């Protein structure tokens, strides 16, 4: 895609993301319906659904040949990444949205023939927008994010983890996980995969590791992290697949191999 065309698409995606954020902000303090999906901890609200509908409608009207892959099912039944595909998480961190009314994000990515070309992560309540166009660097609002520090030592790292790590996990050797937690300087858990990717890109966290994420959780984050020289792969180091769930490690490039080889010992 020509740079100019890519820029126009970026501006459009950014405009819709900010507009969607405004609409969410108007509703965050009002009562909204909360339902559950897979189990009692898997929440979805009418705001998640309406936000995804907002994007799906805009995209269909403006770019009828583009496909939409969204968490709440208002997009298309996407079975291939051929052509232009928007991968959207209307609210990433729904539990935070419901309980905290903050610490959630809109995640919007555009892939062209399987390659991520545009990524946007909008921290709605702070107004911080992380964005990237492939090959043109990543930004936090108007500021270009510096490349990640390649001399980072694992013992100085702050790593994002989640509840998978606190309870026995059939896929992970606990010894490795516990050793990693002892080795690093600290761990954090923010409850929004998209924001954890954004924080890795910003260099305020050095990594984020989780055992199961969907394409919409990571699609924009991967593009943004890669633009600052960061890594984003499966937990075994293999490439991520944007059509299915993945194990995920995103981190500073200085510690990627060390974490995978020495600590992320997968059982299968
Ligand atoms: C969730 C968040 C959470 C992660 C979950 C995701 P959702 O997304 O990113 O941090 O641990 O695995 O499903 O459902 O709030 O969009
Ligand atoms: Ca969800
Ligand atoms: Ca999500
Ligand atoms: Ca979501």
Q: What is the pLDDT of residues 227-263, one digit of tens each?
A: 999 999 999 999 999 999 999 999 999 999 999 999 9
pLDDT band at 170 (very low <50, low <70, confident <90, very high): confident
Q: What is the pLDDT of residues 186-199, one digit of tens each?
A: 999 999 999 999 99
Return the ligand 1 atom nearest residue 192 CA: 10
Q: What is the pLDDT of residues 22-45, one digit of tens each?
A: 999 999 999 999 999 999 999 999
Q: What is the pLDDT of residue 239?
A: 98
Return the ligand 1 atom nearest residue 193 CA: 9
Q: Is the CB of 221 under 6 A from ligand 1?
A: no
Q: In this structure, which CATH number among 3.20.20.100, 3.30.450.20, 3.40.50.300, 3.40.190.80 belongs to the domain 154-262?
A: 3.40.190.80
Please give the Cα distance from 189 to 186 (Å, whole number): 11
pLDDT band at 172 (very low <50, low <70, confident <90, very high): confident
Q: What is the pLDDT of residues 130-168, one digit of tens each?
A: 999 999 999 999 999 999 999 999 999 999 998 877 888
Overall average pLDDT of the 109-122 stretch: 98
DSSP class of residue 243 equals T
Q: Give the dihedral sign, CA 220/126/209/180.
A: positive
Return the ligand 1 atom nearest residue 91 CA: 16
Q: Which of 171-175, 205-209, 229-233 has the lowest mean pLDDT?
A: 171-175
Q: Is the CB of 96 under 6 A from ligand 1?
A: no
pLDDT band at 175 (very low <50, low <70, confident <90, very high): confident
Pairing of strands 231-233, 246-251: antiparallel
Q: What is the pLDDT of residues 92-111, one digit of tens each?
A: 999 999 999 999 999 999 99
Where are the chain's structural domains? 3-144, 154-262
Q: What is the mean pLDDT of the chain?
A: 96
Query: 58 has which bridge partners?
Result: none
Please give the Cα distance from 29 to 126 (Å, whole number): 15
In the block, tokens 């960061």 appear at 230
Q: Is the CB of 191 under 6 A from ligand 1?
A: yes
ipTM of predicted complex: 0.98
**Distance from the alpha carbon of residue 44 to the mean position of ligand 2, in angstroms:** 6
Return the ligand 1 atom nearest residue 93 CA: 15
pLDDT band at 74 (very low <50, low <70, confident <90, very high): very high
**Distance from the alpha carbon of residue 92 to the mean position of ligand 1, in angstroms:** 6
Q: Is the CB of 196 under 6 A from ligand 1?
A: no
Q: What is the pLDDT of residue 16?
A: 98
> Which residues 6+ apart lie within 8 Å of 21 measured at CB?
106, 122, 124, 127
Q: Is the CB of 215 under 6 A from ligand 1?
A: no
Q: Given ligand 1 and candidates 45, 93, 194, 212, which is best to mutate, with the most ligand atoms within 8 Å of its CB?
A: 93
pTM beyond cutoff 0.80: yes
Q: Is the CB of 217 under 6 A from ligand 1?
A: yes
* Topology (CATH level 3) of domain 3-144: Fructose-1,6-Bisphosphatase; Chain A, domain 1 (3.30.540)
* Contact (CB, 8 A) for 58 and 159: no
Q: Given ligand 1 and candidates 40, 52, 70, 193, which is best to mutate, with the most ligand atoms within 8 Å of its CB?
A: 193
Using left for φ > 0, alpha for ψ between -120 and 50, and beta otherwise, residue 3 falls in: alpha
Q: What is the pLDDT of residue 174?
A: 79
């Amino acid at each position: 895609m020509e740079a100019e065309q890519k820029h126009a698409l970026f501006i459009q995606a950014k405009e819709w993301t900010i507009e969607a954020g405004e609409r969410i902000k108007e509703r965050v303090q009002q009562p909204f319906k909360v339902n559950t999906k897979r189990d009692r901890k898997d929440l979805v609200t009418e705001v998640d659904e309406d936000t995804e509908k907002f994007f799906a409608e805009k995209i269909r009207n403006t770019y009828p040949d583009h496909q939409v892959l969204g968490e709440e099912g208002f997009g298309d039944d996407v079975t291939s990444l051929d052509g232009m595909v928007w991968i959207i998480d209307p609210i990433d961190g729904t539990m935070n949205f419901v309980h905290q009314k903050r610490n959630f994000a809109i995640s919007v990515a555009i892939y062209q023939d399987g390659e991520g070309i545009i990524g946007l992560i909008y921290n709605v309540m702070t107004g911080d927008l992380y964005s990237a166009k492939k090959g043109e660097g990543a930004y936090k609002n108007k500021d270009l994010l510096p490349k990640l520090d390649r001399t980072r030592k694992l013992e100085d790292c702050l790593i994002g983890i989640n509840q998978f790590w606190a309870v026995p996990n059939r896929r992970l050797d606990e010894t490795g996980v516990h050793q990693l937690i002892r080795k690093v300087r600290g761990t954090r858990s923010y409850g929004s995969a998209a924001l954890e990717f954004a924080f890795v890109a910003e260099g305020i966290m050095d990594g984020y590791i989780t055992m199961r994420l969907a394409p919409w959780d990571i699609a924009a984050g991967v593009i943004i992290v890669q633009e600052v020289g960061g890594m984003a792969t499966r937990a075994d180091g293999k490439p991520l697949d944007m059509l299915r769930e993945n194990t995920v490690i995103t981190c500073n490039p200085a510690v990627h191999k060390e974490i995978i080889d020495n600590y992320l010992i997968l059982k299968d």
